[in-house]
Structure 1
């Protein structure tokens, strides 16, 4: 979501305040994070759209509050349990961008809705809409809903051309109020992964704006057209008629966004701090104390469109390749003679920071000359 600064060099040497941390662990550079938050909030303001960041990336109410203080309208979550954590942390404007289909979850959502300023939930089927309506009516409540649209990712969402009919159906139900449409497509264009994130973002925005007009022409009055990911959000936001963007990863950035050229490596605020436990420089081989229980593996190397090499970028040895992960070991392949010795500490920018954060119970926030431990409050909130 944020624009690259133009530099791709590594940050400076390891901060002395990190010396006492046990590894492997995640460190967040507070100054870099705050700059990312401010920059994306400014991009949204200039585009004239609302910013509703997805908190799946950080899962912490403290950081969500920072995003709101910088100008975000509210937040986005994927699960009811995440919404409960954020509500308990003081967040009062929440969008559950996921179709709720279980009665227990709908009743929990209604409880949240009755306690905060605004709750929005997702729907993408007649069955889901009927269930939301029936349970909301039984509770004497009206739930605000948005219709999810499949714009090419082939995940959840009503097929694009079927949306006006479903919107009309939802409008006729009691207990729910349809106020908008939303989608998530990411770096997809013409049904395929793409490096052309500008074209992908503009296409996503245009598709949703055109669909919103078709739905309005069918007699359904909707206001919100919500789109956008961290790589594509700024381009989707520029399409007239888009009202909201929901990027998430921008708060920390990661190696994927660097590869998309939406940020520079210096704008990556979160990294894994690890210790070299074995090193054979003459063989170009080293092992760090973080493996697949430390680094997410959902963004695999050698896959389109980015063709990333390895599982992360080692700031202290940019030429090294984190080529293999077992549960507790990360195996580095290096150029012979790379000066990494047992006991050395390295910072690794993971391919995907969102899923990496979810592997950790806590992170360490570096603020000037002190380090503060933060619990990843919504970690593992799957229901």
Structure 2
């Protein structure tokens, strides 16, 4: 029995989630390139590839290095690289695998091109386009001009465009996932057509987060979707209606360490255990607390300090000191990133998976996965 707090993954549920998204991609005849930032574990990436994924997406060079070291050979770094050391590492990695790098500015493109040319190499790149999130990405109306400039750089090969917008319309979060996804897909497909008409041979049009992927894939001209959270799902996706709480494959297991009053339960998991980026009581989801407690669905994990989680309960709630409880976090991607290890169950057997070096703030070493029990994955 592992110490708490810890993350426990139900492999059977995870496999169903992987298969479901693979079927969506097949149905709409688009490629699936899942974002590995959610799990950061090579063995899970391999399961996604075995179910038909064309490659994987990552956000960091270190994540790409970890995945490549474990045999993943088609990786898209969906993030602008503008630091010489990271560009050098990407170029070295690209000698052994197919590596695609994101770019969203002429300055960044020139840095990539200059470094690649100095090494006698070429880089495959995709142009990131802002379709409303106002994060990285060139402004939509300026994308064609920038694509022309990037295409003129000898050491770069511009093969695609991509965006990340999520559940957003008109600059605001929305529950209308169908409209948001279809609009995202159409915007990008139209832009790709304009680029092709201008003589820029765009091959891939890559879109779609977990909530919008199934709808963005419907847009004619979209070639690829990049969901990530779907592999585990979480409370946020359940509230969006993308899945049910029963589909959530990852939970945080915690122990009740105190019940100082009838209406307060304290667990051994706080802000160093649960991600806090998806805050309670924020539109459009209006989630109550930081997670859904399976043993006490009406209780609310309403406050977190570093090592304590404070749960508001009804006086008749039966939770007592020493009880172990399981909580579906609001956002699983950021929660996974807080843990050096995750545990998993599969067909009644249990195993331990050490976290790879791709996790933020982890040392740049690879951990050997320890596996026991029936049905575990090498």
- TM-score, normalised to structure 2, is 0.94
Q: Paired residue for 2:291?
A: 312
Cα deviation for residue 279 of structure 1 reads 2.1
Does 1:187 pair with 2:167? yes
Structure 2 unmatched runs, 5+: 365-378
Q: Secondary structure at the match of 1:349?
A: strand
Give 1:251-270 correspondences, 5 Å limit.
251-270=231-250
**Is 1:335 aligned to residue 314 of structure 2?**
yes
CA distance in 1, matches of 2:103, 2:21: 28
Corresponding position: 1:250 with 2:230: yes
8 Å contact kept, 1:225–1:241: yes
User: Which residue in 2 is equivalent to 1:52?
Assistant: 33
Match of 2:194 among 214, 220, 223: 214
| Correspondence 1:353 to 2:337 | no
Cross-structure match for 1:89 = 70
Q: Name the SS for the 2:107 alignment partner.
A: helix
C-alpha separation in 1, matches of 2:359 and 2:138: 29
Given that 1:294 and 1:359 are in contact with CA atoms closer than 8 Å, whether structure 2 keeps it comes out as: yes
Output the aligned Cα RMSD.
1.1
Q: Structure 2: how far apart are the matches of 1:130 and 1:240?
A: 32
Q: With CA pairs under 8 Å and 6+ residues apart, which has the higher RCO, 1 or 2?
A: 1
Aligned length: 362
Question: How far is 1:369 from its partner?
Answer: 2.0
Contact 1:82 1:381 in 2 (8 A): no
- State the Cα deviation string for residues 219-259 of structure 1 (Å, max 9, x = none): 11111000000000000001110000000000000000001
Residue by residue over 1:81-108, the C-alpha shift from the partner in whole angstroms, topping out at 9 and shown as x without a partner, is: 1111111111100000001111111111
Whether 1:62 and 2:43 are equivalent positions in the alignment is yes
Match of 1:16? Answer: none
CA distance in 2, matches of 1:277, 1:365: 23
Do the aligned partners of 1:275 and 1:343 also contact (CA within 8 Å) in 2? yes
Alignment pair present for 1:284 and 2:293: no
Give, in whole Å, the separation in 2 of the partners of 1:31 and 1:188: 31
Match for 2:141 among 161, 185, 190?
161
Q: Which of 351, 356, 359 is the matching residue for 1:372?
A: 351
Aligned-partner Cα distance in 1 for 2:39–2:168: 24
Query: Which aligned runs of 4 or more in structure 1 are off by greater than 3 angstroms?
Result: none
Q: 2:17 pairs with 28, 31, 36, which one?
A: 36
- Which among 362, 377, 380 is matched to residue 341 of structure 2? 362
Q: Distance in 1 between matches of 2:178 and 2:341?
A: 35
Query: What is the CA–CA distance in structure 1 between the aligned matches of 2:268 and 2:361, rounded to whole Å?
Result: 26
| In 2: Cα distance, 1:381 partner to 1:204 partner | 33
Match of 1:12 in 2: none
Matches of 1:381 and 1:93 in 2, distance apart? 25
* Aligned partner of residue 371 in structure 1, secondary structure: strand
2: distance between equivalents of 1:287 and 1:105? 43
Matches within 5 A, 1:110-259: 110-116=91-97, 118-259=98-239
Over 3 Å counting, the alpha-carbon distance change for 1:381 and 1:114 in structure 2 is farther
Partner of 1:5 in structure 2? Answer: none
- Unpaired runs of 5+ residues, structure 1, are 1-19
Query: What is the CA–CA distance in structure 1 between the aligned matches of 2:248 and 2:12, rounded to whole Å?
Result: 11
In the TM superposition, what are the counterparts of 1:92-107 in structure 2 within 5 Å?
92-107=73-88
Which of 11, 26, 29 is equivalent to 2:7?
26
> Contact (CA 8 Å) 1:52, 1:244: kept in 2 or not?
yes
